[in-house]
Amino acid sequence: MQQCSCGHRAIYFRRYSGQHLCKRCFSRSIFKKFKDTIRINKLIERDDHVVCGVSGGKDSLVLLHMLKDLQSKFQFELSALVIDEGIAGYRDVSLPYVHRACKQLGVPLHTRSFKEAYGYTLDEVTQIEDRLGACSYCGVFRRNILNQASREIGGTKLALGHNLDDESQVILMNMLRGDMGRFGRTGTFYKDVHPKFIPRIKPLREIPEKELVLYAVISGIEFDFEECPYAHEAFRDDVRDFLNDMEQKRPGTKHTLLKTYDKLFPIFNEQFTPESIATCKRCGEPSISTLCKKCEMIDDIKKKKGY
Ligand code: SF4
Ligand SMILES: [Zn+2]
Ligand SMILES: [Zn+2]
């Protein structure tokens, strides 16, 4: 039986660091990583109003619990925001987890939906126009509502539960696509480039997905295990499989990719991110061009629908 360095029975072997960890040391190490990411990158300041985007999955609910814990030691306001994309059999199952967690933690919850904001559920969008795949519409629509709703709530930071696996996949996908514009937007803290833009923070980005699952189970955090029915985008699946295979052969690959990216981030940010972004002439939200991607997509859907 392997032992943790504290003398207790180990329940987890962290391959990338060679450590055997007991329950307590494992949980402490995860919370420390979360806290250090915030402290080193100055992600939260005193008197910030942090809006935590929650979905009912493990990442966002672990993040909400950790932020609540941090709030008792550090003064900031905390709210939760959930988006109902309108995915039958999926979102309706995960929403009760969000409601229960917010009630238990005493965190005010705000809800928005695609249907209410755009007139269509994601299921309806995919039936009308699926040229780009569900995730493209979902990503653009969700980012738009997250930003707008966070601002309406009075948020000064938008916290998202992206983990190490998500981050390393996005970095590699952007690299393989040659998408340099997005390279300047994947960092720890996407800089404030528009008065209506709420800066996004990702305090879990250095924690592997499987460690977040274990942390949630150990901490008794209930979450929805179901995966979104649209989740399997071929390109991301290939990148995920490649990174998992590399991690298996060379433990630490995902951390190395993230660290390399972070070292290069100031250059990407300087070179490829505009100093300020435009304002959409239709909806008034921050946008790369004069008509934002969300308004462009809504126009396409309406055209397809014939009005
Ligand atoms: S998998 Fe795609 S469609 Fe499903 S919630 Fe995520 S981005 Fe949206
Ligand atoms: Zn221990
Ligand atoms: Zn717009």
Spell out the domains of the chain, with CATH numbers in brackets. 42-272 (3.40.50.620)
CA distance 229 to 90: 7
Find the mean pLDDT for residues 72-98.
94
Which residue among 98, 132, 138 has the greatest number of ligand 1 atoms within 8 angstroms of its CB, and so is best to mutate? 138
Band (pLDDT 50/70/90 cuts) for residue 180 is: confident
User: What is residue 278's predicted lDDT score, i.e. its pLDDT?
Assistant: 87
Band (pLDDT 50/70/90 cuts) for residue 276 is: low
Band (pLDDT 50/70/90 cuts) for residue 303 is: confident
* 49: enclosing H helix or E strand: strand 49-54
User: What is residue 131's predicted lDDT score, i.e. its pLDDT?
Assistant: 72
User: What is residue 233's predicted lDDT score, i.e. its pLDDT?
Assistant: 77
User: What is residue 205's predicted lDDT score, i.e. its pLDDT?
Assistant: 97
User: What is residue 120's predicted lDDT score, i.e. its pLDDT?
Assistant: 93
DSSP assignment, residue 165?
Answer: H
DSSP assignment, residue 3?
Answer: B
Structure-derived torsion over alpha carbons of residues 289, 295, 296, 301, reported in degrees to the nearest 10: 170
The residue type found at 227 is E
Give the distance (Å) from ligand 3 centre to CA of residue 164.
Answer: 31
User: What is residue 6's predicted lDDT score, i.e. its pLDDT?
Assistant: 97
CA distance 88 to 97: 16
Q: What are phi and psi of 44, to 5 degrees?
A: -125, 135
Q: Which atom of ligand 1 is nearest to the CA of 142?
A: 8
Measuring CA to CA, which residue among 289, 273, 271 is closest to residue 281? 289
DSSP 62-101: HHHHHHHHHHTTS--EEEEEEEE---TTTHHHHHHHHHHH
User: What is residue 265's predicted lDDT score, i.e. its pLDDT?
Assistant: 85
Give the distance (Å) from ligand 3 centre to CA of residue 184.
Answer: 22
Edge-to-edge strand list for the sheet holding 77-84: 109-113, 77-84, 49-54, 157-159, 200-201
Band (pLDDT 50/70/90 cuts) for residue 186 is: low
Give the distance (Å) from ligand 1 centre to CA of residue 105.
Answer: 26
Question: Is 95 or 187 the better-scoring residue by pLDDT?
Answer: 95
Most confident of the ranges 127-131, 185-189, 217-221, 274-278: 217-221
Q: What are phi and psi of 66, to 5 degrees?
A: -65, -40
Token code pair at residue 221: 């955090």
Give the distance (Å) from ligand 2 centre to CA of residue 31.
Answer: 14
Q: Which atom of ligand 1 is nearest to the CA of 135?
A: 2
Q: Identify the residue whose C-alpha is closest to ligand 1 atom 7.
A: 135
Q: Identify the residue whose C-alpha is closest to ligand 1 atom 2.
A: 135
Q: Identify the residue whose C-alpha is closest to ligand 1 atom 3.
A: 135
**Closest ligand, as measured to the CA of 299:** 3
Give the distance (Å) from ligand 3 centre to CA of residue 296.
Answer: 7
Res. 275: pLDDT tops 70: no
Degrees to nearest 5, angle at CA 261 with 259 and 267 = 130
Band (pLDDT 50/70/90 cuts) for residue 305 is: confident
Res. 260: pLDDT tops 90: yes
DSSP assignment, residue 9?
Answer: B
User: What is residue 125's predicted lDDT score, i.e. its pLDDT?
Assistant: 93
Band (pLDDT 50/70/90 cuts) for residue 73 is: confident
**Residue appearing with tokens 């919370």:** 31
Give the distance (Å) from ligand 2 centre to CA of residue 121.
Answer: 47
- Residues within 6 Å of ligand 1 by CB: 85, 134-135, 138-139, 228, 230-231
Give the distance (Å) from ligand 3 centre to CA of residue 85.
Answer: 18
Res. 190: pLDDT tops 80: no
Q: Identify the residue whose C-alpha is closest to ligand 1 atom 1.
A: 231
Res. 107: pLDDT tops 90: yes
Measuring CA to CA, which residue among 180, 182, 200 is closest to residue 191? 200
Q: Which atom of ligand 1 is nearest to the CA of 134?
A: 3
**Closest ligand, as measured to the CA of 278:** 3
Res. 204: pLDDT tops 60: yes
**Closest ligand, as measured to the CA of 3:** 2
Q: Which atom of ligand 1 is nearest to the CA of 138?
A: 8
Question: Is 25 or 133 the better-scoring residue by pLDDT?
Answer: 25
The residue type found at 264 is L
CA distance 43 to 22: 29
User: What is residue 132's predicted lDDT score, i.e. its pLDDT?
Assistant: 77
What average pLDDT is seen over the chain?
Answer: 92
Res. 189: pLDDT tops 60: no
Give the distance (Å) from ligand 3 centre to CA of residue 44.
Answer: 29
* 52: enclosing H helix or E strand: strand 49-54
Band (pLDDT 50/70/90 cuts) for residue 100 is: very high
Q: What is the crossing angle of helices 164-177 and 209-219, to 10°?
A: 160
Find the mean pLDDT for residues 213-219.
97
CB count in 10 Å sphere of residue 89: 9
The answer to whether the predicted template modeling score (pTM) of the entire model surpasses 0.85 is: yes
Res. 306: pLDDT tops 80: no
Measuring CA to CA, which residue among 81, 2, 70, 58 is closest to residue 34? 70
Which residue among 82, 87, 130, 135 has the greatest number of ligand 1 atoms within 8 angstroms of its CB, and so is best to mutate? 135
